[in-house]
Amino acid sequence: METKIFTVDKDVPLLESYPQIKEAAKLIIDNEVIAFPTETVYGLGANAQSDEAVKKIYEAKGRPSDNPLIVHIASFEQVDYIVQSVPDYAKVLMETFWPGPLTLILPKKGQLSKYVTAGLNTVAVRMPDHPLALALIKEANVPVAAPSANLSGKPSPTKAQHVYNDLKDKIAGIVNGGATGVGLESTVLDCTTDIPIILRPGGITREQLEDVIGKVNVDVMLETDDQAPKSPGMKYTHYAPDAPLTIVNGGRDFLQSLADQYKNEGKRVGVLTTKENAHFYNVDKIIVCGERRELQTVANELYDVLRQFDDEQIDVILSESFPNEGIGQAIMNRLVKASGHHVVSE
């Protein structure tokens, strides 16, 4: 299958009527798979009502079938079509954060493919905050199941080129809308309980949620892999570069001492660091990921940086750690997954 590239200016008026959006939407209607940009990462979209279409997502990604998918919608009316009931606090969150990087877990209705929910009686749903994503979903006029548009286990794509590198000739098309914004996937919130539970930290922080609805819990299983996932992104190693990654809890001297040990073993060492510390390390490759004083910049660049290491013939990657609060919680969640839970402390 030849993968077609649809390059679309997101600032074009009446995007739904843009010829390339119409063509990409037609492919979704025809049960093909299309990658498209959201404000978080590129998604791999298919008709969420079609078993045939959704199976193609799993096949293209090499994704385990017990890992559920997020359903993307373009209007609040579509919620009632795929969800049985919405608690009052979830309605408040929708009004506050949609469109945006917040996914809500709610009781499902029967119109969705069984492969979307991986056998669960709930569905993950969100409204993306990207004009191309919204235009594509509106034109297709179906709910669109869309995990990140990468090979399963690899860093999520924040550029169309990342998608092409992973999935060329495996999917029907890619809507190229340039680089994404947030850089990390959406926050996933279980809204089937009286007090909602964060199942995956992301673009909307716990603090932001609690400012709006009060107490929000965090799932104790976030960093374990021994149960069937209730949410996308909870199971399996994710976001991993080719070289093994270790997260280092400690100062710069401690990280450098670990790097020196690897160098003495004849290994090429890479370090993931921030702008503030980039001058400090003596290793084979230093790649800067944002600024520590502004962690959102780290989130924006994280996946792109992890992919950059794949081009550097590095044997081992050492990453600084980050404060586990605010957007830092999402950054650390992704790094822990990328490292296969390999963390060393001073």
Report residues of the chain scoring pLDDT below 50: 223-229, 233-236
pLDDT at 208: 97
- Cα–Cα distance, 76 to 210 (Å, whole number): 22
Output the pLDDT for position 235. Answer: 47
Beta bridge partners of 270: 285, 317
Q: Name the burial class of residue 301, with classes exposed (0-12), middle (13-18) and buried (19+) by CB atoms within 10 angstroms of its CB.
A: buried
The per-residue pLDDT for 270 is 98
Nearest to 109 by CA among 87, 82, 79: 82
Q: Tell me which DSSP letter residue 56 carries.
A: H
- Cα–Cα separations (whole angstroms), residue 228 to 232, 234, 333, 341: 11, 9, 18, 18
Q: In whole angstroms, what is the distance from residue 190 CA to residue 211 CA?
A: 17
Q: Given this model, what pLDDT does residue 225 score? A: 45
Residue the block writes with tokens 């979209």: 45
Rounded alpha-carbon distances, angstroms, from residue 118 to 55, 115, 232: 11, 5, 10
Sheet holding 285-288, edge to edge: 285-288, 269-273, 316-320, 245-249, 343-345
Q: Which pLDDT value is given to residue 237?
A: 56
Burial class (CB in 10 A: 0-12, 13-18, 19+), 5: middle
pLDDT at 234: 45
DSSP string, 200-216: E--SS-HHHHHHHHS--
Contact call for residues 177 and 36 (beta carbons, < 8 A): yes
- Determine the Cα–Cα distance for residues 229 and 68; give it in Å rounded to an integer: 8
In this predicted model, what pLDDT tens digit does every residue of 297-314 receive, in sequence order?
999 999 999 999 999 999
Are the CB atoms for 331 and 302 separated by under 8 Å?
A: yes
pLDDT of residue 111: 85
Pairing of strands 187-190, 102-107: parallel
Phi, psi torsion values for 300, nearest 5 degrees? -60, -35
Task: Return the axis-axis angle of helices 295-309 and 160-167, rounded to nearest 10°.
Answer: 30
